[in-house]
């Protein structure tokens, strides 16, 4: 196991039992069986480790949702798959989400706030593209309200996964939310959030990631990865950014090779946006 990944997994176990504040770097290194020096080669501080964990989970959730919206071609299935993937992802990462909510009274630094706002901006972009595809001109005046309603459904119903120890049928939940969303899309006539208001509310923090920035991110990820098909594919994708030679079909295949690798979720998301796939 890559050392950075080992530290993150061990820290997550301790955070779940003790919380962020009560867990020391010493306890994390003892759980990993490494020295403090080895820890600081991967993370400058415990705060940086916490931010890395947040990044890890938010990248996976955001990229999973975006992948579904881009790759489900049957419009009749899209909204259902969107909701099912969303709640399935929340379910998979519920332990960390519980820790984050439990510790939310902490004064997280500005970097944390910027990260969360940028992930929210990416999610809004994905939801709006789905709305425009499904409902087109039918919701031109109300699409921003509908986007916030969908985000509200995601937040409110995810609490059932986090706070209530009851089995949930994600299939029925997704079908129910599809029905509710369709009712809102087709019968809402009084918009509140106009395009101008949305632009004012939109956070100006999420600038488009450049090709050069993606290359830097890929290089960082390659250092964390062991030899595998995913690593070989990522190397080829980096070369493609530097000097394009592959047809788009090959690029799509390479992206499919890295999509489910834990270190490549965000890179896959960024590359799909870069190539407009």
Angle, CA of 87, 80 and 124, to the nearest 5°: 65
User: What CATH number corresponds to the domain at position 36?
Assistant: 1.10.10.60
In angstroms, what CA-CA distances link 83 with 55, 74, 270? 22, 15, 22
**Among 179, 201, 223, which residue terminates a domain?**
201
Cβ-count burial 181-209 (b if 16+ within 10 Å, e if not): beebbeebeebebeeeebeeeeeeebeeb
Q: What is the pLDDT of residues 63-104, one digit of tens each?
A: 889 999 999 999 999 999 999 999 998 888 877 777 766 665
Three-state DSSP state, 276: coil
Question: Considering only CA atoms, which of 224, 246, 172, 228 is closest in space to residue 55?
Answer: 224
Q: Are residues 59 and 172 in the same domain?
A: yes
SS3 state of residue 79 = helix
Looking at the predicted structure, is the pLDDT value of residue 130 above 90?
Answer: yes
Residue 2: pLDDT over 80:
no
Range of the domain at 39: 1-43
Return the pLDDT at 206. Answer: 47
Establish if 206 belongs to a structural domain.
Answer: no
Q: Is there a domain that residue 151 lies in?
A: yes
Q: Residue 138 pLDDT more than 60?
A: yes
Choosing from 181, 201, 221, the residue where a domain stops is: 201
* Claim to verify: residue 112 and residue 91 sit in the same structural domain: yes
Query: CA nearest 56: which of 103, 99, 110?
Result: 99
Q: Mean of the pLDDT values across residues 251-264? A: 87
Q: How many domains does the chain have?
A: 3
Q: Are residues 36 and 108 in the same domain?
A: no
113 HSE (CA, 13 A, CB side): 7
* Domain end point (choices 201, 219, 239): 201
- Angstrom distance (rounded) from CA 158 to CA 4: 29
Q: From CA 273, how far away is CA 203, in angstroms rounded? A: 19
Task: Evaluate whether 8 touches 52 at the Cβ level (below 8 Å).
Answer: yes
Place 147 in a pLDDT band, splitting at 50, 70 and 90: very high
Domain of 50, CATH number, reads 1.10.357.10
Q: Identify whether 128 is part of a domain.
A: yes
């Amino acid at each position: 196991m890559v050392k950075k990944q080992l530290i993150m997994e061990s820290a997550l176990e301790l955070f779940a039992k003790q919380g962020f504040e009560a867990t020391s770097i010493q306890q994390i290194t003892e759980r990993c069986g490494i020295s403090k020096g080895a820890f600081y080669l991967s993370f400058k501080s415990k705060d940086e480790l916490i931010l890395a964990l947040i990044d890890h989970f938010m990248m996976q959730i955001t990229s999973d949702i975006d992948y579904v919206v881009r790759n489900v071609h049957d419009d009749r299935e899209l909204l259902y798959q969107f909701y099912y993937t969303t709640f399935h992802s929340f379910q998979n990462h519920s332990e960390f989400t519980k820790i984050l909510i439990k510790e939310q009274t902490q004064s997280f630094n500005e970097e944390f706030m910027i990260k969360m706002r940028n992930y929210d901006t990416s999610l809004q972009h994905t939801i709006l593209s789905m709305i425009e595809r499904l409902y087109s001109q039918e919701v031109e005046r109300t699409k921003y309200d509908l986007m916030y309603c969908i985000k509200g459904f995601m937040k409110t119903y995810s609490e059932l996964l986090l706070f209530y120890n009851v089995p949930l049928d994600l299939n029925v939940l997704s079908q129910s939310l599809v029905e509710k969303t369709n009712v809102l899309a087709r019968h809402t006539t009084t918009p509140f959030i106009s395009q101008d208001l949305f632009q004012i509310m939109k956070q100006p923090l999420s600038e488009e990631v450049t090709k050069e920035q993606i290359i830097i991110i890929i290089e960082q990820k390659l250092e964390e990865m062991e030899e595998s098909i995913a690593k070989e594919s990522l190397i080829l994708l980096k070369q493609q950014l530097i000097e394009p030679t592959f047809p788009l079909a090959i690029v799509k295949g390479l992206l499919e090779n890295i999509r489910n690798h834990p270190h490549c979720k965000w890179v896959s998301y960024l590359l799909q946006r870069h190539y407009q796939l």
